[in-house]
């Protein structure tokens, strides 16, 4: 694998993992009957609609069919992707609703 192929592979892998992070966030929200867009907009009020989040919401399963997404796992993956503001609001919601 030459350097440009390796770089393309790393970028592709990062994008796949980022997509998974967004899907896990959306599924966690659905599992707890929360609006993922509302929480995202509180974390990032000046950003336009996030198309990746909208796509992920379309891919979520109904709560009854979905596997649980542990809060600790969600917060960890959000921190890996430096989504600190979103992790903060997710934690706030979880604390308020006693979802721990």
pLDDT tens across 83-96, in order? 999 999 999 999 99
In 3D space, the residue among 58, 45, 72 whose CA is nearest the CA of residue 19 turns out to be: 58
Beta-strand ranges (E) seen in 15-79 are none
Contact 21, 11 (CB under 8 A): no
Q: Output the pLDDT for position 71.
A: 96
Domain boundaries, the chain: 11-96
Q: What percent of the chain has pLDDT over 70?
A: 99
pLDDT tens across 25-53, in order? 999 999 999 999 999 999 999 999 899 99
Is this structure's pTM higher than 0.85?
A: yes
Q: What percent of the chain has pLDDT over 90?
A: 84
Measured N-to-C along each axis, helices 3-31 and 84-96 cross at an angle, to the nearest 10 degrees, of 20
């Amino acid at each position: 694998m030459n350097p440009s192929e390796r770089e393309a592979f790393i970028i592709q892998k990062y994008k796949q993992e980022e997509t998974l992070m967004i899907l896990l966030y959306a599924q966690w929200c659905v599992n707890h009957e929360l609006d993922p867009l509302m929480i995202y907009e509180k974390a990032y009020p000046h950003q336009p609609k996030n198309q990746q989040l909208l796509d992920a919401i379309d891919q979520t399963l109904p709560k009854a069919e979905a596997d649980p997404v542990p809060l600790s796992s969600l917060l960890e993956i959000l921190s890996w992707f430096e989504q600190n503001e979103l992790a903060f609001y997710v934690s706030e919601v979880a604390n308020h609703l006693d979802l721990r």
